[in-house]
């Protein structure tokens, strides 16, 4: 395969079920990045991979080629006193883990250059949440980004044009050619961007349940195992946690609403709940992988100390200020975070306990309120969303609503209330909640 240079011949080989060599894959990815492959050829390649799959070596080679298609960040010249660590999630509803985990890891001695994305479908996006903070820039210059990673320990920004450019084009083509749901393409897209950040270790949060990207628990586990294996073989030790998304991770969904929830957790107002538990477990895995703790118990003690002392909150405040946001956000969030003009309690038609939640439907209700995009480039209303979402097994009645709707208008609130009632099933039977952590897969780099 290495002597063949015509891209159509390489596409033909994959179409016919043959494995592509490392050099062939690098040639194809270079053509995607520099535009020498036409959209038709990129689409044909994506479809061939979708239909024929890839062997493990091919997926590793594709991931490394996407990683290397643009700038690969390097940190030795900054003489960082701690490891470079990061986390990625496959997305969910009420999932604001990144807002808490990044500064929490920084307070423990790690350095987190977190390149995040926007909302996709029913899932919220970290960048959209942060842009609910007035002045916060998700596109700083490289010097500012690097300075904050060194001095503050964390900077959460958006993908730059120089970072894994092949992925941007390949994903855009996949989106319009019905080839998104391909494991090699999903894995290489996620990891190509993350590994371009020059990480010492990565933790993946792969969701499972009604609000997850993958359709079944088996598919979620397969994705977690593949990500951990491919990332480690590409040189980055990776731990993948399969976590529960059969209900929203936090009792709220919506951009400014979720920022408020993050501030409550960082500020010590909330010391329990699913969000804190999952974030704490993910953070502990990163401290272990980064050798900032020598045991899980030691990691948890360190995390608890930095949260209780306010050190994690202080890192968040410094990151926000360093990226253009207000310096007193922690002290006076109500001054800066927008609130929707209409707030309405949504009650069940009869009292009972929450038996089942269609988490994806709740996420789509937030999108319909204007809290997510129905078309690329659409403006988002950062104030809208849901709060006080009841959890599985919780009793609801005339006093305890299913949720509160935050809307721009009464009509929007009425529509969202109907969607919430349709998404949450209330009954009289006993309810067993699934464990928060379904599985943990650890892989060391070779």
Active site residues: 86-89, 126, 174, 189, 193-194
User: CA nearest 95: which of 356, 420, 360, 352?
Assistant: 360
Burial of 436 (0-12, 13-18, 19+ CB in 10 A): middle
Cβ-based neighbours of 245, under 8 Å, separated by 6 or more: 92, 93, 95, 207, 208, 209, 210, 211, 212, 359
DSSP 352-387: EEEEEE-HHHHHHHHIIIIIS-SSTT----TT-EEE
Structure tokens at 33: 């990045």
Q: What whole-number distance in Å separates Cα of residue 43 and Cα of residue 438?
A: 35
Structure tokens at 323: 């990226």
In a 3-state reduction of DSSP, which class is residue 287? helix
Q: What whole-number distance in Å separates Cα of residue 275 and Cα of residue 269?
A: 13
Structure tokens at 94: 């009420």
């Amino acid at each position: 395969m290495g002597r063949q240079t015509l891209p159509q011949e390489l596409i033909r080989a994959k179409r016919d079920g043959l494995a592509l060599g490392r050099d062939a894959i690098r040639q194809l990815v270079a053509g995607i990045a520099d535009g020498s492959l036409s959209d038709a050829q990129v689409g044909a390649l994506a479809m061939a991979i979708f239909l024929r799959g890839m062997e493990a070596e091919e997926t590793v080679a594709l991931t490394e080629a996407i990683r290397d298609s643009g700038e690969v960040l390097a940190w030795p010249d900054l003489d960082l006193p701690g490891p470079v660590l990061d986390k990625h999630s496959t997305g969910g509803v009420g999932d604001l883990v990144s807002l808490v985990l990044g500064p929490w890891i920084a307070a423990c001695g790690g350095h987190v250059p977190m390149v995040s994305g926007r909302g996709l479908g029913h899932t919220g996006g970290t960048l959209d949440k942060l842009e609910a903070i007035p002045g916060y820039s998700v596109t700083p210059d490289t010097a500012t980004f690097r300075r904050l990673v060194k001095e503050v320990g964390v900077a959460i920004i958006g993908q730059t044009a120089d970072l894994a450019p092949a992925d941007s084009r390949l994903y855009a083509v996949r989106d319009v050619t019905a080839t998104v749901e391909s494991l090699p393409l999903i894995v290489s897209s996620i990891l190509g961007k993350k590994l371009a950040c020059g990480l010492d270790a990565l933790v993946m949060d792969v969701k499972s349940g009604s609000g997850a990207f993958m359709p079944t628990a088996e598919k979620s586990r397969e994705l977690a195992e593949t990500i951990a294996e491919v990332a480690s073989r590409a040189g980055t030790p990776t731990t993948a946690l399969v976590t529960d998304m059969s209900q929203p991770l936090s009792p709220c969904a919506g951009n400014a609403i979720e920022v408020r929830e993050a501030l409550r957790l960082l500020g010590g107002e909330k010391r329990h709940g699913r969000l804190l538990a999952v974030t704490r477990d993910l953070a502990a895995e990163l401290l272990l992988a980064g050798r900032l703790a020598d045991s899980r118990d030691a990691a948890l003690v360190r995390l608890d100390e930095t949260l209780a002392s306010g050190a994690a909150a202080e890192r968040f405040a410094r990151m926000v200020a360093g990226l253009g946001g207000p310096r007193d956000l922690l002290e006076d969030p109500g001054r800066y975070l927008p609130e929707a003009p209409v707030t309405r309690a949504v009650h069940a038609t009869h009292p009972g306990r929450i038996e089942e939640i269609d988490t994806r439907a709740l996420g789509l209700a937030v999108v319909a309120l204007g809290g997510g995009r129905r078309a690329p480039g659409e403006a988002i209303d950062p104030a809208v969303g849901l709060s006080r979402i009841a959890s599985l097994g919780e009793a609801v009645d005339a006093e305890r609503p299913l949720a509160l709707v935050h809307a721009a208008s009464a009509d929007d609130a009425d529509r969202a209330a109907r969607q919430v009632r349709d998404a949450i099933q209330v009954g009289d039977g006993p309810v067993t909640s699934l464990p928060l952590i379904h599985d943990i897969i650890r892989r060391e780099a070779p």
